[in-house]
Structure formats: C-alpha cells, structure tokens
Amino acid sequence: METVEEGSAVDWTRLPANVLRFVSGRLADPQDFVRFRAACPAWRLAVPEDGHWRFFHPWIVESSDPDDDSGNVLFYSPASGEYHVIHVAALEGKRVAGHGAGLLLGIDTADELSAVLVNPLTGESTAAPRLPERFRGAPVYGFAATDDPAGEGEVVAVVYNRPAGGQARGCVALWRRRRDAGAGWATVPAQTFWMRMPQLRARLVAHGPQVVEAEEAAIAAVNGHAHGHVEWFPGMRGAHVVEHGGQARVLVRMELEQPPAIAAAGGVPVKPGDTLPGVSFELRNTVDPEGDAVDWASAPELHGKVILQSEDSICHVLPASVGLSSNSVYFLSWQRQEVVVDEDGGVGDGEPFGYFLCKWDAIKGVATVVEKVPGAWDRQKPGRWFLPTFKY
C-alpha cells in the first residue's frame, strides 16, 4: 500500500473510487452532494449524478400558488437549515399540481390537459400524454410514485380531479412514465382507486393502460362504481393514504377540541421539545370515517419506518436511516409560539403563530414539537414533504 510521508501534501484527486462513493452516499443534503462532485473532475467522474445510493434527507416544499407559473419553487432543508429557491425552466407557464418520487407534476396554465413531470434538481423533464377530456373544467392534482426509491423502479404518475357539485363524479388516471410512455393514461373511478392503489399500479406496469382501463370499466359496470358522489380525495377528513409494501392503509390525523378560553387565544404556546397532547394519529384500513382502527402492531410493513404526512397529499414511507426516528409520523403544524423578547425588551418577530416540525411516536402515542421551521411561511401555502433525488 502506498504511504504518505509526514509533512507531504496529499493528492485528494487520487482517492479510490469506492471510497469516494462511500463518502458521497452518506451526504444528507443534495446541495452537499453537488458540492462534493464539483470539488474536482476526478471526483465528478468517480461519482455520477445519479450515484447517491442512500436516501437524501427530505425537504419541505412550499405549496404552489395557482396563479404562479414562474417556474420558481421554494424548498427548505431541515438537515442543513437552508432554503433553496430553484428555477425549473420546464415549469414556466405551469402550476405545480403535485409531486413524488423526487419529481414535480406541472399542469399548463393555458392548457389544462397538458402535463409534465420534472426533476427540479436536474431540470430533466418528461412530457406526459395529453390528459383525458374528463379532466377538463375541474382543478387537477396528482403525484408520482415508484416501488423502488433506490432508482430502478417504474415511475407511475397519478392525477385526480375535484369536480364541483354534489352529483359530479371524480376520476383518477395513471400513466407509467418510462416504458411504453406513449400508450397514454388509464382512467379509473375515483371511488375504487385509493385503497387499491398498489394493485392498480402493479397491473399498469405489467399490462399497460388499455388492459387496466378495460378491466376497471368491467368491474364498474357490474358493481356500479361508475356513478355516485365524490366521497374522498387526499387529505379530506384529515385522512391520508399510506402505501407501502403492497399494502394501502389510511392515516387519520386527529386534534382534540381545546377549551374555549385556550382556543380563543390560539392555543398554548409551544417550543421544541414540548408535547402536543391534543394531536394524535390513527391507522385504518378504509377511508370511511367510521372505519375501525388498526393497531400499529398489526401493520408489519410499517414497523421500523418513518412516515411523512403533510396536508392534502399522499404520505411518504422511508427507512429510519434518513436521520429521523423510526415508528414515527413526522408532520407540519401551525402552533402558537412562545413570545420571543429581544435584547431591548421588545417582542421579537411579533408573529404569534409559527410553523413547526412535529412528530408522533406510534409506540408511545405521544406527539412532540421537534423544531420551528424558520422563515415567514404563508398559512395559505403550507409546506409539503419532498424527497429530493437525482435518480429520476
């Protein structure tokens, strides 16, 4: 083995490729990974852009303004404490309608049936086939998902609408991005999609959209699922779908009603480390608000995992290796914050409420405040979890 004499300079460009990959694979934030690769040509050659083999720590992305089609997206990294405003050229003229698998879903503001999936870190984008006509005239939302977060799986995009009117019918459409991308969307009834999401995605990847759509139409014709009210969409009634290990469950966030005097004051002021006695979560096997609870012990696919829950979106399930506690649900919550007094005796930022990162321990059944999310957040544009990656 070559040795280095004391006092001699070390040629860091000659580090073995396996050492460089070992180090880079443990970087928690994408920006650190970018800086690592930018150190020198030898490091960049040894570690390709999609060579990060562990999970980056999750980011928080600000919910988009429906009128903002600038392509600018705001992210916050809890791991580094830094904000990142990323301009995504492929999103110019589009609103961000959802995200997932490290991708953002953009819907054209001038053409509501035109969609694109784009990775904000790389700028790489994929134009989706034109959305079905059934999605015209109602706001469209969606997300992307994959069975293999390591980067080898098929990405499936899912879009859904929220039609107005009591008799309006919602629908869901699925599209597999890579293989046979030109085959189009498979449209299925919204009432039967969410709790069958793993099976429908698997069938789409295996058989294509035409087969899935024909089979679902046949089922609907027999069971009458093609008609009826729009009964549920992500986040409605505080319920969120958790899909993992081929199983779909529902995570329901519950908050106890506070005494009138405390509620009128906006709640009890909190700080990191405080418990939130009025907040809890419950697992169910159905989106039915009267559905029976599922004990955590009866959900083995979630044991040792981290669940990221945010408003109006699908939950993310990650291994505990992302730097967060296992068997916990991490969520974002507006809470009354303790009054901060500056050196002159005046009130700090003067804002009575703060945006806090919190977690619920599924074993102990206790919710606690982890940290205050810095910056001035708009309550009309709450943050949502985003899993940055260079793999898609």
Residue of 215, 162, 206 whose CA lies nearest to 187: 215
Q: Is 179 exposed, middle or buried (0-12, 13-18, 19+ CB in 10 A)?
A: exposed
Q: Are 78 and 58 in contact (CB under 8 A)?
A: yes
Residue of 116, 161, 115 whose CA lies nearest to 140: 161
Widest pairwise Cα distance in the chain: 81
Residue 327 is classified by DSSP as: S
DSSP H or E run through 258: none
Full strand arrangement of the beta sheet holding 171-176: 125-127, 115-118, 103-108, 94-100, 140-146, 155-161, 171-176, 186-189
Least confident of 149-158, 187-196, 236-245, 309-318: 149-158
| Angle CA 234–238–240, to nearest 5 | 40
Strand, coil or helix: 270: strand
Look at residue 17 in the predicted model and tell me its pLDDT. Answer: 85
Q: What does the pLDDT average to over 238-261?
A: 86
Q: Tell me the whole-structure pTM to 2 decimals.
A: 0.88
> Is the pLDDT higher at 72 or at 219?
72
Q: What does the pLDDT average to over 124-130?
A: 93
pLDDT-based confidence at residue 1 (cuts at 50, 70, 90): very low
Summary mean pLDDT of the chain:
85
Least confident of 29-33, 93-97, 179-183, 368-372: 179-183
Least confident of 7-21, 322-336, 352-366: 7-21
pLDDT-based confidence at residue 261 (cuts at 50, 70, 90): low
Q: Which two tokens stand for residue 149?
A: 């977060």
Q: Are 350 and 34 in contact (CB under 8 A)?
A: no
Helices (H), ranges, the chain: 17-24, 30-37, 41-46, 197-207, 209-223, 260-264
CA atoms within 13 A on the CB side of 305: 18
What is the spatial distance between Cα 50 and Cα 151, in angstroms, rounded to a whole number? 8
Look at residue 51 in the predicted model and tell me its pLDDT. Answer: 79
Look at residue 224 in the predicted model and tell me its pLDDT. Answer: 64
Q: Is the pLDDT at 176 greater than 60, yes or no?
A: yes
Strand, coil or helix: 128: coil
Q: Return the bridge partners of 117, or none.
A: 105, 126
What is the spatial distance between Cα 100 and Cα 293, in angstroms, rounded to a whole number? 27
